[in-house]
Amino acid sequence: MLLCYLTLGASTAFAGGLLTNTNQSAHFLRNPALDASTEIDAVYTNPAGLTFLSDGFHFSLTNQSVYQTRTITSTFAPFAGFNAGDPTKTFNGTASAPIVPSFQFAYKKDRYAISAAFAITGGGGKAVFGKGLPSFEAPISMIPLSLTSKGIPTSQYSVDSYMEGQQYIFGVQLNGSYKINDNLSAALGMRLNIVNNAYLGHLKNIMINPNQPAFGASYNGSLPVSAPKFFTDAATVLSGWSAGATSFVTGLQPIVSGGGGTVLLANGTAAGLNATQIAQIQGLLGAAGLTPAQIGAINIQTAQGTLAAAAPVFAGKAATMTTNAASTADKQLDCTQSGWGVTPIISLDYHLDGLNVAAKYEFKSALNIENKTIIDDTGLFPNGVNTPSDIPALLTIGAEYELCKSWKVSAGYHHFFDSDAKMANNRQQFINGGVNEYLAGTEYQINDLFLVSAGLQVTRTGVTDAYQTDMSYSLNSYSIGFGGAVKISPQLRLNLAYFFTNYDKWTKVSANYNGTGLPGTDVYDRTNKVFGIGLEYKF
């Protein structure tokens, strides 16, 4: 009747694909179209372009503060039992990462450049759903409906549901760049991706209001009671009924064999039964579904046959109640996951007068994450089990053009090959190709000290309806970033930026809502805000 489960998937991906963060500098936040950049941020966006830096050492240090919300508005008729009669509930999640650091380094000499970077290349914070998720609550909300259909009127339920997920993919990148001629450069690199995830959640204190005093005087439908206790008490009573029916079937046989089977049960004292035994048999017959009129008219032999048929039914119901007691018992999860993979990277850059054009390809990273489970009452996160979670290949193409000495514009395109990256439960089969991003930006140098910039990123997710779940969903969006830079000294520059994303809502209509067999609807939405500050230094 009830399947309680915790399947936690919480990511706080910022800009980028399903598993990739492309925002790895404050410069990106104020102008995301950096795919043809020839500044220090090119360590990530365009390694081949680093050969156009001035000779010497270049450093960049950035911190981003990321704040997200996730909202799932669910309409499912049984939710009315824990929502003042309203079948529509809202599940809110918050994700915050006040400290998301990144570091980039490059050394340029003549035609050569070597570079390194550290960043959180996927995930980057903790998402918390203080009231759980629709998929947690849907099977629990079915308890009143199921009990009522079995003759135990129940109209309400409640549950204490909570989940939090923390995901980090730490990336350490190394590149080597070479200027083939005055216009063309190439680079080879690799990134080591280290995964560190943690999930914590519970489902507990499930309460219902069953009206079945036969299982206990407190089960009168007026007040909520513990679901596990109700099911345990029900199993005890039903087991007693089964044992009692079996005992009376044996005890009545001598009366039937002696010719007393045709005597009315109500007159059983004439056949050797006492008043207590008659009352007990009548009670069992009532529990088996006979009406008072039927009980009054039944004879001893027919009563014996009815009890013989009822005994295994009582036993079966007792077993079901025992299963339900276990299903509604408190569930907890405390699990961490770890894994690693390597991403090879190639890039090309072509520079001609005020135009710079670049392309980069990051190969797919085959990656498995291993469960390290402290407690898992759900049975879904066995300790030591590995789950595929590949980082998809990424193609970026960009161009940057100087309109004049103080003003330049840029554009870019990203494609994430998500369909080719293995995911848990083969979810990649529900992606049509992958995420596409279209970027544009501009920068204007006001004077020797101040620079301002702004940019736009349009993201079109390639996922299908079957991909979307309340634990992991992807939405079309557009993002706007803006900010500026201050030259503190000839060697030191300060970057300040703000970046926000507006998402298109996604409505998913299900004929079999979370496996319940009933229809339901989820509407997915989210928000995203990022503040960035960074320092760039060269000597």
pLDDT for 59-111, tens place per residue? Answer: 999 999 999 999 999 999 999 999 999 999 999 999 888 999 999 999 999 99
**Percent of residues, the chain, with pLDDT higher than 70:** 96
Read off the pLDDT of each residue in 435-442 and give the average, rounded to a whole number: 97
pLDDT at residue 435 is higher than 90:
yes
Contact predicate 28/15, CB 8 Å: yes
Residue 2: what pLDDT? 35
pLDDT for 480-528, tens place per residue? Answer: 999 999 999 999 999 999 999 999 999 999 999 999 999 999 999 999 9
Residue 229: what are its φ and ψ, rounded to 5°?
Answer: -70, -40
Residue extents of the structural domains in the chain:
26-209+327-464+477-505, 224-326
pTM score of the predicted model: 0.89
pLDDT at residue 14 is higher than 80:
no
Read off the pLDDT of each residue in 210-229 and give the average, rounded to a whole number: 96
3-class secondary structure, 230: helix
pLDDT at residue 3 is higher than 50:
no
Q: What is the mean pLDDT of the chain?
A: 93
Residue 305 DSSP symbol: H
pLDDT at residue 20 is higher than 80:
no
Q: How confident is the model at residue 379 (pLDDT cuts 50, 70, 90)?
A: confident
The count of other CB atoms within 10 Å of the CB of residue 320 is 16
Residue 522: what pLDDT? 98
pLDDT for 324-349, tens place per residue? Answer: 999 999 999 999 999 999 999 999 99
Residue 362: what pLDDT? 97
The first and second tokens of residue 273, run together, are 């039964």
pLDDT for 164-174, tens place per residue? Answer: 988 899 999 99
pLDDT at residue 424 is higher than 90:
no
Q: How confident is the model at residue 15 (pLDDT cuts 50, 70, 90)?
A: low
Q: How confident is the model at residue 448 (pLDDT cuts 50, 70, 90)?
A: very high
Residue 512 DSSP symbol: S
Read off the pLDDT of each residue in 356-382 and give the average, rounded to a whole number: 93
pLDDT at residue 8 is higher than 80:
no
Q: How confident is the model at residue 126 (pLDDT cuts 50, 70, 90)?
A: confident
Considering just the CA atoms, what is the radius of gyration of the chain in Å?
A: 33
Identity of residue 387: T
Read off the pLDDT of each residue in 209-230 and give the average, rounded to a whole number: 96
pLDDT for 31-53, tens place per residue? Answer: 999 999 999 999 999 999 999 99
74 to 89, 134, 208, 380, 525: CA distances (angstroms) = 5, 7, 21, 24, 11
- List the beta strands (DSSP E) in 130-156: none
3-class secondary structure, 312: helix
pLDDT for 266-316, tens place per residue? Answer: 999 999 999 999 999 999 999 999 999 999 999 999 999 999 999 999 999
Residue 19: what pLDDT? 67
Residues whose CB falls within 8 Å of the CB of residue 103, separated by 6 or more in sequence, listed in order: 59, 60, 61, 62, 117, 118, 119
Top CATH class, 26-209+327-464+477-505: mainly beta
Residues whose CB falls within 8 Å of the CB of residue 47, separated by 6 or more in sequence, listed in order: 115, 175, 177, 187, 189, 345, 347, 360
